Chains A and B, each alone.
Chain A
Amino acid sequence: MLNIIELEQRWLRYKIKSFIPHIVIVISLLIITLVLLSLSSSTTDNKQEIVEPTITPSNKEVIKKEPIEKIVPVKKTVSEETIVVIPVEAVPQKKQAIQKESQKVKLSPSLDFMRKMQNSVQPFYNNTTPSDNYETDVPRSTKKINTRQAKVLETQAVESTPKQSEKRIQIKRQNTQNDIYDIIKRFKKNNNPALSLFVAKKYYELGNYRQAYNYALMTNKLNNEIESSWIIFSKSLVKLGKKDKAIKTLKKYIKHSHSTTAEILLDEIQSGKFR
């Protein structure tokens, strides 16, 4: 009579053996795709860092003295923030939590961003529907959290203006961030100044003045006739504590375009109304 138990064991060993090549293939394919993905994402990061505006006579001086900081993709801040927000809800008594809450409040969204976005970038917005892009973006944003977390936090600390003290937690702001990231992505594709201007405005609204400055600069580089871009550019400079440069830039722009809005802003800055 056959020894069934021994035979079953031999069969099991055979099965495991025959599966090994498949597993090896699957794992190696996974590794290859991961490597390829990380490679492709790192190349896009590099591209982002290389962006350097061409110097037009109007903004030459500013650029010389103020080299553009690296553009840190917003999604990272977002993910960091979401991670922070949850403990705040859970343990509201802690002091740290309050501090982080204020940080979070700074990022809180204007829920009507959709409307604004449509107003400001309508002609370029037809290609993709925003809802589609949210879905594709979500996994990527979580993926890159760690790479420049430290740096993001640093800049965040400098820029944070803990004046506001809203206590309600608004988790939906992540959509705004994703939205900005989506616009940045589209901007990278087609270099449309309207998109970068929108991003600059959004960053400005969110209080990320350095990014607002960067994107306004990029917009100016692409098209130096957009008034609101120069306004955001100057406002961001003021917010970053470079009032003199802001005044200089505005003056040059007014000379070039005779913009009344710019003049009003210049007055406000000079008189100290705008700080």
Chain B
Amino acid sequence: MSSIFVNSKNVFLDIVNANDYVQLDRVSTIYQSLKDSIKKPLKMILLYGKPGTGKSMFLTKLHKDLSSSQEVYLYQTPILDESEFYKTLAQDIFKIKYAGELNFTQFMKIAKEQKNENVPVVLLDEAQLYSEALMEKIRLLSDTRSVKFVITLHKTEKEDLIAKEHFQTRIWESIELENASSTELKIYIQKKLMKANCFDSANMFTPSAVNRIHKITNGNYRDSNKLLYTLFDLYAIYEQNSQLSKIKTNHISNKLIEMSAIHTGLIHA
């Protein structure tokens, strides 16, 4: 028997799945502009933001939406070996299998030979993990206009990646993703729960409870998911131990929010 709390808990499993994508006003505007940018003859599109702001979700959603209309390839985990990277691209995009090593020059040659009307789009997640040299080569590849790249980057405080030279000059479009506001977070939580038919638990989120969560997670989607997962886990355990009477169930208990935050390390107790 799965209770309402167990169902609600599973909604917040931190899995990148395009079907779980939640439409929020601001995010959908950004998404639309990203889709428009892809139609333009751009060489590269940069998607950046702090970890947990939904970049991966964005790419997944984009991949899902575009795959029906055009050639699009998503690499969620970076291929760090250079030769491996070229080989994978050659195989996926140009359907050319290479048994031995494939270097940049060879790959460029192949790329230039390909004259597709529809330029294939390559989506690279976690691009901050690629070496600077490889990034430079990716940018050279995009200059051939035979491949279009959409890359996502963590925006770290130490180094502002956009400030790097190759991004400044080559990128035509850069889109920043930000943390959710309190209202957006509320819509996000409720939409997510309602998608899974958890209407009762969606109704438990009062503005003050959402504000508290927002205060703890700063509106970061990943942190919020983590927190909410633990929160409903706690509810499920209380329910299992028949201790639900100890806590409020008509709205989300602040105590449980804080307990979840302590457990997930968002609050240092």
Does A4 reach chain B (CB closer than 8 Å)?
Answer: yes
Q: With contacts A2-B230, A2-B263 known, is A10 near B237, CB below 8 A?
A: no
Contact of A11 among B230, B237, B241, B258 (CB under 8 A): B258
Q: Is A158 interfacial (CB-CB < 8 Å)?
A: no
Residue B115 interfacial (CB < 8 Å): no
Asked whether A1 is an interface residue with its Cβ less than 8 Å from the other chain, the reply is yes
B234 touches A2 (CB 8 A): yes
Taking the complex as formed, is B173 at the interface, i.e. its CB lies under 8 A from any CB of chain A? no
Contact B237 A4 (CB under 8 A): yes
B269 touches A1 (CB 8 A): no
Q: Which residues of B contact A17 (CB under 8 A)?
A: 269
Given contacts A2-B263, A14-B262, A17-B269, 12 further A-B contacts (CB under 8 A): A2-B234, A4-B234, A4-B237, A7-B234, A7-B262, A8-B259, A10-B269, A11-B255, A11-B258, A11-B259, A11-B262, A13-B269
List, in ascending order, chain B residues with CB within 8 A of A1's CB: 237
Residues in A neighbouring B255, C-beta threshold 8 A: 11
Greatest chain B CB density within 10 A among A7, A8, A13, A14 is at A7
Say which residue of B237, B267, B269 sits within 8 Å of A2 (CB atoms): B237
16 contacts between A and B (CB under 8 A): A1-B237, A2-B230, A2-B234, A4-B237, A4-B238, A7-B234, A7-B262, A7-B263, A11-B258, A11-B262, A11-B269, A13-B269, A14-B267, A14-B269, A15-B258, A17-B269
Contacts of B234 in A (CB 8 A): 2, 4, 7
Contacts of A11 in B (CB 8 A): 255, 258-259, 262, 269
What residue of chain B has the Cβ atom nearest to residue A17's Cβ?
A: B269
Chain A's nearest CB lies how many Å from the CB of B258?
6
Write the residues of chain A forming the contact surface with B, with a CB cutoff of 8 angstroms.
Answer: 1-2, 4, 7-8, 10-11, 13-15, 17
B200: chain A residues within 8 A (beta carbon): none
With A14-B269, A17-B269 in contact, do A2 and B262 touch (Cβ < 8 Å)? no
Q: Does B20 contact A (CB under 8 A)?
A: no
CA distance A1 to B241 in the complex (A): 12
A14 surroundings in chain B (CB, below 8 A): 258, 262, 267, 269
Question: Measured between alpha carbons, how far is A98 from B67 in the docked complex, in Å?
Answer: 106
In the complex, what distance in Å separates the CA atom of A240 from the CA atom of B269?
A: 72
Q: In the complex, are the beta carbons of A2 and B233 less than 8 A apart?
A: yes
* A10 CA to B259 CA, complexed, in Å: 8
Of chain B, the residue at the smallest CB distance from A4 is B237
- Label chain B's interface by main secondary structure: helix
**Would you call A4 and B233 a contact (CB within 8 A)?**
no
Chain B residue with the shortest CB-CB distance to A15: B258
Task: For the complex, give the distance between the alpha carbons of A11 and B259 in Å.
Answer: 6
A4 to B259, CA, bound (A): 9
Which A residues are CB-close (under 8 A) to B238? Answer: 4
Q: Report the bound CA distance from A11 to B258 in whole Å.
A: 7
How many angstroms from the CA of A4 to the CA of B234 in the assembled complex? 8
Complex interface: chain B residues within 8 A of A2 (CB): 230, 233-234, 237, 263
Q: Which residue of B lies closest to A10 (CB)?
A: B269
Residue of chain B at shortest CB distance from A14: B269
Residue of A nearest to B258 (CB): A11
Give Cα A11 to B231, complex, Å: 13
B262 touches A10 (CB 8 A): yes
Give the CA-CA distance A8 to B262 in the complex, in Å: 10
| Assembly CA distance A17 to B258 (angstroms) | 13
The residues of B that contact A10 with a CB separation of less than 8 Å are: 259, 262, 269
Residues from chain B with a CB closer than 8 A to the CB of A7 are 234, 259, 262-263
Q: In the bound complex, how far is the Cα of B112 from the Cα of A70, in angstroms?
A: 108
Query: What is the CA–CA distance of A14 and B269 in the complex, to the nearest angstrom?
Result: 5
A5 to chain B minimum Cβ distance, whole angstroms, is 10
The smallest C-beta distance from B57 to any residue of chain A, in angstroms, reads: 27
Nearest chain B CB to A138's CB is how many angstroms away?
Answer: 42
Tell me how far the C-beta of A163 lies from the nearest C-beta in chain B, rounded to whole angstroms: 71
CA distance A14 to B255 in the complex (A): 11
CB B232 to nearest CB in A, in angstroms, measures 11
Q: How far is the CB of B61 from chain A (nearest CB, A)?
A: 32
Q: Are B241 and A4 in contact (CB under 8 A)?
A: yes
Residues of A within 8 A of B258 (CB): 11, 14-15
Chain A positions within 8 Å of B233 at CB level: 2
Residue on A nearest B259 in the bound complex, by CB: A11
Q: A15 to B233, alpha carbons, bound, how many Å?
A: 21
Residue interface mask B202-238, A partner, CB < 8 A = 1: 0000000000000000000000000000100110011
What distance in Å separates the Cβ of B230 from its nearest Cβ neighbour in chain A?
7
Bound Cα distance A15, B255 (Å): 9
A206 to chain B, nearest CB (A): 61
Chain B residue nearest to A6 (CB atoms) is B263
Q: Specify which of A1, A4, A17 lies most central, judged by the most chain B CB atoms within 10 Å of its CB.
A: A4
**Distance in angstroms between the alpha carbons of A7 and B269 in the assembled complex:** 10
Please report which residues of chain B, range 170-207, place their CB below 8 angstroms from some CB of chain A when the two chains form the complex.
none
> Quick one: CB contact mask for B250-269 with A, threshold 8 Å, 1 for yes?
00000100110011000101
Residue of B nearest to A8 (CB): B259
